[in-house]
Amino acid sequence: MTGRYLVRRLLQVPPAVIGILVIAFLLIHLAPGDPILALAGDNGDAAYYAEMQAKFGLDRSLPEQLGIFIANLLRFDLGLSYVQGRPAMAVVLERIPSTLLLTGSAVVFATVTGVALGVVAAAGAHGRRDLAINIGTLGLHATPSFWLGQLAILTLGLWVGWFPVSGMTDPRSSATGLALALDVGRHLLLPMLVLAATEIAVIARLTRSGILDELSRDYVRTARAKGLSEARVLSRHALRCALLPVVTVIGGRVGHLLAGAVLVEAVFGWPGVGRLLLSSVQARDIPIVLAVLLLIGSMVIIANVLTDLLYVRLDPRIRYT
């Protein structure tokens, strides 16, 4: 059952991605800003700009350009980056690992911390701990990540001096193996915390309210009547059901997380896809922008499919047909 559902969902991915790309293609071409003017710099002569436009096919009409783009897309060819002269897809793919490391660890950390905080808050609902967690998460939720990032750099990076503030490795170290992994970990911590901050808040608040909801239900009363300990009621029953919406939200927030990574990567000099997207939009490097959107679009869609599948695992009542 689930297998057929999965195949159907996966078959929907290519048209969805192509749709995203065509819309993005039109948006970026209709938006003001000439890529050649961004690329060529100043003091050129008019013939130079004309040559560059012809080289990248930007002198053709928009429908013609769109036709060429779709034809190439079907051959998995997104063209050469205007700035780097290399295949756009290759440029983007080499940034994927660092972004996955950052966003992946942020998701794990935010989930574990957020769920834990939510449980703690729900267990002592309306008490002092609950209030403190509520205020804290509300604050985190309301804080923009670029500001939080700069604040973290100033306090934890500069004043306390615990963490490095930029890049992924120590430029003066030639470490390899485990030492390199530890070095990367040390550099990862601060941007990961900043990126996770908003997610922690969302997850904690959702978990708390979900558990409180569940605790008022009949099956919880039955569980308690059976004589189960309160901890067991919480963890085995209420939390399990309360996590269903949390999983949906985490799956749905992959896009948010990648958007947050654009800012966090810029602030911390983290060499990921987000920064590539930012600089490519500024330079109107259209092939790169479209390649990034292709990947991000696919990741968001895949994350949603995975969320659906996880649902079945978490809730035996759900069956896809």
Partner 1 sequence: MRRFPIIASLLVLVASACSPSAPPSPSTSASAPSAPSASQAPSGGGGGTLVVAIGSDPGHLNPAITTSGGTHTASELLYNGLVGLDDELAPIPELAESWEIQDDGVQYTFKLRDGVVWHDGTPFTSADVKFTFEEVLLKLHSRTRASVGPALAGIDTPDERTVVFRFKQPYAPLLQQLDVTEAPIIPKHLYEGSDPAENPVNQAPVGTGPFAFVSYAPDSEIRLKRNDAYWADGLPLLDEVVMRVIPEIGTQIVALEKGEVDWVWGVPGPDESRLDQDPDIELLRTDRNPGGSNCIMTMSFNLEKPILQDLRVRQAIAQAIDRQPFVDNILFGQGRVAEAPISSGIAWAHATGLAMPAFDSTAAAASLEEAGWVAGGDGTRTASGVEGVDDGTQLTLDFLHFPAFSRYGELLRTQLAAVGIDLTLEPLDPPVFAETVFTKRDFDTNIISYCNGPDPEIGVRRMFDSRQIGPVPFSNAAAYSDPAVDALFDEAQQTVDLTARGEIYRKIQETVVAAQPYVWMVETSGVRAYRSPCTGFQAYAQFAQAATCAP
> Closest CB to partner 1 among 66 and 244?
244
Q: Is 40 among the residues that bind partner 1 (CB under 8 A)?
A: yes
Minimum CB separation of residue 181 from partner 1 in Å reads 7
**From residue 67 to residue 106, what is the string marking binding to partner 1 with x (rule CB under 8 A)?**
-------------xx-xxxx----x--xxxxx-xx-xxx-
Would you count residue 198 as binding partner 1 (CB under 8 A)? no
**What gap in Å lies between CA 201 and CA 207, rounded to an integer?**
10
CB 207 within 8 A of CB 242: yes
54 lies in the binding site for partner 1 (CB under 8 A): no
143 binds partner 1 (CB under 8 A): no
Q: Select 113 or 132, whichever has its Cβ closest to partner 1.
A: 113
Q: Which residue, chain included where needed, has tokens 């509520």?
A: 134
CB 291 within 8 A of CB 28: no
Q: Is the Cβ of residue 86 or residue 126 nearer to partner 1 in the bound state?
A: 86
Is 45 a binding residue for partner 1 by CB under 8 A? The answer is: yes
Contact in structure between 165 and 153 (CB atoms under 8 Å): yes
Are residues 121 and 208 in contact, defined by beta-carbon separation less than 8 angstroms? yes
Three-state SS for 229? coil
Q: Of the listed pieces 21-29, 129-137, 167-175, 211-219, which binds partner 1 according to CB under 8 A?
A: 167-175
Minimum CB separation of residue 274 from partner 1 in Å reads 10
128-142 and 177-215 are packed helices; what angle lies between their axes, rounded to 10 degrees?
A: 120
The residue behind tokens 């908003």 is 198
CA 54 to chain centre: 36
Among 74, 154, 231, 318, binds partner 1 (CB under 8 A): 154
Take residue 68 and report the two structure tokens written for it.
């060429």
CB of 4 to partner 1, least distance (A): 19
Q: How many residues bind partner 1 (CB under 8 A)?
A: 87
Binding to partner 1 (CB under 8 A) within 215-234 occurs at: none
Q: Per CB under 8 A, which of residues 176..195 are in contact with partner 1?
A: 180-181, 183-184
Under the criterion CB under 8 A, does residue 150 sit at the interface with partner 1? Answer: yes
The residue whose two tokens read 């994927």 is 96
State the Cα angle at 246 between 292 and 295, rounded to 5°: 10
Q: Which is nearer to partner 1, 14 or 33 (CB)?
A: 33
Neighbouring-strand partners of residue 87: 80
For residue 39, CA distances in Å to 6, 144, 319 come to 43, 32, 53
Half-sphere exposure of 41 toward its Cβ, with a 13 Å CA cutoff? 2
112 binds partner 1 (CB under 8 A): yes
Return the residues of window 246-285 that contact partner 1 according to CB under 8 A: 247, 250-251, 254, 266-269, 271-272, 275-276, 278-279, 282-284
